Amino acid sequence: MAQRRTTISGGDLSQALTALRADLELPGEFASDVLAEAQQAAAAAHTVGHVDATGIELVTLDPAGSRDLDQALALSRRPGGGYDFVYAIADVAAYVAPGGAIDREAHARGETLYLPDGRIPLHPPVLSEGAASLLPGQDRPAVLWRMQLDADGEPTTVDVRRSIVRSRAQLDYVSLQHQGGDVADLLKEVGTLRQQRESDRGGVSLAEPDQQVEQVGDGWELSYRAPLPVEDYNAQLSLLTGMAAAKLMLDGRVGLLRTMPPPSDATVASLRRSANALGIEWRRSDAYADVVRRLDPNVPAQAAMIRLAAVLFRGASYVAFDGQPPTLTTHAAVAASYAHATAPLRRLADRYVSECCLALCAGQPVPAWVREALPALPDTMAEADRRAHEVDRAVIDLAEALVLQSRCGEVFRGVVTEAGDKGGAVQLREPAVRARLNGGNLPLGDEVDVRLESVDVASRRVTFVLA
């Protein structure tokens, strides 16, 4: 789907976001003891035992303007075939003392929250956007993953150890996609191989365009945005590292996995019926991943199917273990064992995964403070995920209500993406809105005219009816 934009006045959204933060009881400023400890840590990171890896030509790749840089990468071809892949992950434990003020606050927050007018960070910015961030031209402590990949992009060796690294450049997705170059070429080459391996495993990603709200000039824009190819390639490297981390922890019988059960037979059968109703081919030999992978969000019926297919990706959770591995060790969408390992500045769980992997790779005991924290982490992260999803949805709902608040009675063109006995949902072409559609017998997957029935900014609710 092409990116479409609708402008919201700056004052309207800024005031509403202030109210939203209070309504959702989101964390505010860091307490003075947390800030004081962060200032001290920024000035004196714990780097004993870190090896010098500043000679590696690493670069970061993130959205333009990012300051909380968790990862830096280097790729090169191996003589005779295959690749060397190096992934530096910010070493948050070099700054955060177990049980200290920063650590306690990080456990209360769980993960960074993102709002259009600014993030609510997991760690104080003096660390997350300063001393611990892999900013270019700065020596930084890192958890350094080194992998040798064969010609098919599969890892043959994995090593992880604490190191001092120096990023050479801060790249952004849009510029790298447009300008290309050696980094882009190698990233595409390895990323494409990893996508092929994902397909071979039966893994799948949902190609649903994101709704986003971002500041542009004095106003804000609501838009649909599909990820750039370079973002997908970069995501494959993160997945590769998460899979390597999961294997290390499962082999070592201690750690924290990200798991998701496969969809039930009833769920898949229901989706198959929906595909048939929408005129989407689903051959008898096709797995659900094969069908989802072929969907095009620019085709109305397939856009509806993408929305319905979201049910396949429910039930993800964190599972801690120390001794006997859990019954479920795999993530259905990844189609492999997997762990969150590559974003410790923004997600609490990743720091503990890094510590497990460092110890296991070195043949040393996992630190006691890590093992003691593991049992409570799944609940901590479940609450953090719930809050992050609530914030994301509330921000979009608010922006939609503000965009449409003066347009009740107008008719818009959209696609019916959900249909049930008590109504469904519609995805408008313009503006970038997905909202409730009242009425029965809705034509699922059809492009229709809908009339805006009501808007309530306070409750962030918008409803349409067929025109």
- Asked if 216 contacts 2 with a C-beta cutoff of 8 angstroms, the reply is no
Q: What six digits make up the tokens of 280?
A: 């989407």
pTM beyond 0.85: yes
List average pLDDT for each run of 10 residues in the chain, which is 467 residues long: 53 85 95 98 94 98 95 96 98 97 98 93 98 98 98 98 98 96 97 96 86 79 86 97 98 98 93 89 92 87 87 94 96 97 98 98 97 98 97 93 92 91 89 91 92 94 95
Q: Is the peptide bond before 431 cis (omega within 30 degrees of 0)?
A: yes
**Which is nearest to 260 in space by CA: 180, 340, 371, 351?**
340
One-letter-per-residue 3-state SS of the chain:
CCCCEEEEEHHHHHHHHHHHHHHCCCCCCCCHHHHHHHHHHHHCCCCCCCEECCCCCEEEEECCCCCCCCEEEEEEECCCCCEEEEEEEECHHHCCCCCCHHHHHHHHHCECEEECCEEECCCCHHHHHHHCCCCECCEEEEEEEEEEECCCCCEEEEEEEEEEEEEEEEEEHHHHHHHCCHHHHHHHHHHHHHHHHHHHHCCCCCCCCEEEEEEECCEEEEEEECCCHHHHHHHHHHHHHHHHHHHHHHHHCEEEEEEECCCCHHHHHHHHHHHHHHCCCCCCCCCHHHHHHHCCCCCHHHHHHHHHHHHHHCCCEEEEEECCCCCCCCECCCCECCCCCCCCCCEHHHHHHHHHHHHHHHCCCCCHHHHHHHHHHHHHHHHHHHHHHHHHHHHHHHHHHHHHCCCCCCEEEEEEEEEECCEEEEEECCCCCEEEEECCCCCCCCEEEEEEEEEECCCCEEEEEEC
- What residues have CB less than 8 Å from 442, skipping those under 6 apart? 416, 419, 423, 424, 466
CA 462 to chain centre: 27
**Which is nearest to 340 in space by CA: 355, 328, 353?**
353
- Asked if 332 contacts 309 with a C-beta cutoff of 8 angstroms, the reply is no
- Asked if 152 contacts 164 with a C-beta cutoff of 8 angstroms, the reply is no
Q: What domains can you pick out in the chain, each with its CATH number?
A: 5-261+315-384 (no CATH), 405-467 (2.40.50.140)
